[in-house]
């Protein structure tokens, strides 16, 4: 219950941040001349991005309808994973909440505006202009993969304390099974009832 609450807070907080920053960048047409730290700057994209990454499929209405439908399905799927599949994996659920915030943020733009508001210029890193929702999806997906592979007792390759906990659990189960087998094998046979009543 607590993790569900925290996940909801994370998702709605990040979604609000994404939408607020998009509104700010486009309302004031923010375009910084210099890159901060040499690789990132705020530089809104006039007219927005009608397609997906790098404006692909922006001229195809049918393709964008398909992308929108796929995004809706993905949002429902992520919610199902959050609520049912990863109920005992808190780190995975937080990652899913982050991805959900990004997916919903870009879907809101497509449904309300017909395009996605991109304003974060990371072209110095070999990418293009994107937004915070894109960051949420990318980093959330990478983090989720790391969690599934390495973090938690149910990970594919558990590391650190999870490996030790998993080993202890397996050893405890093995000891319990051995104790049960030993108990079953040494239990004295029950004596048949005596045919004599003690008075011959």
Q: Where are the domains of the chain?
A: 2-150
Query: In this predicted structure, what is the pLDDT of residue 126?
Result: 83
For the chain of 200 residues, list the mean pLDDT of each consecutive stretch of 10. 92 97 95 89 90 60 83 94 88 95 95 93 88 94 94 81 78 84 63 52
Contact predicate 58/87, CB 8 Å? no
Instruction: Say what the pTM is.
Output: 0.79
pLDDT at 200: 43
Nearest-angstrom CA–CA distance, 138 and 120: 14
pLDDT score of 169: 81
Q: Phi then psi for 36, rounded to 5 degrees? A: -75, 130
How many angstroms from the chain centroid is the CA of residue 35? 30
pLDDT of residue 59: 59
The residues carrying an active-site annotation are 118, 134
What's the confidence (pLDDT) of residue 167?
81
Beta bridge partners of 40: 36
């Amino acid at each position: 219950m607590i993790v569900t609450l925290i996940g909801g807070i994370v998702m709605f907080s990040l979604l609000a941040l994404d939408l607020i920053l998009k509104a700010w960048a486009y309302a004031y047409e923010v375009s910084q001349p210099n890159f901060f730290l040499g690789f990132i700057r705020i530089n809104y994209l006039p007219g927005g991005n009608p397609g997906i990454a790098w404006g692909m499929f922006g001229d195809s209405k049918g393709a964008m309808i398909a992308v929108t439908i796929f995004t809706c399905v993905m949002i429902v799927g992520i919610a199902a994973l959050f609520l049912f599949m990863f109920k005992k994996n808190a780190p995975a659920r937080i990652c899913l909440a982050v991805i959900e915030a990004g997916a919903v943020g870009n879907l809101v733009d497509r449904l309300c505006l017909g395009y996605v508001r991109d304003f974060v210029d990371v072209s110095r890193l070999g990418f293009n202009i994107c937004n915070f929702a894109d960051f949420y999806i990318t980093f959330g997906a990478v983090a989720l993969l790391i969690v599934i592979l390495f973090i938690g007792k149910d990970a594919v390759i558990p590391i650190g304390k999870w490996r030790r906990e998993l080993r202890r659990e397996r050893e405890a189960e093995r000891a319990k099974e051995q104790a049960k087998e030993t108990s079953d094998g040494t239990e004295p046979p029950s004596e048949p009832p005596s045919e004599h009543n003690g008075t011959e």
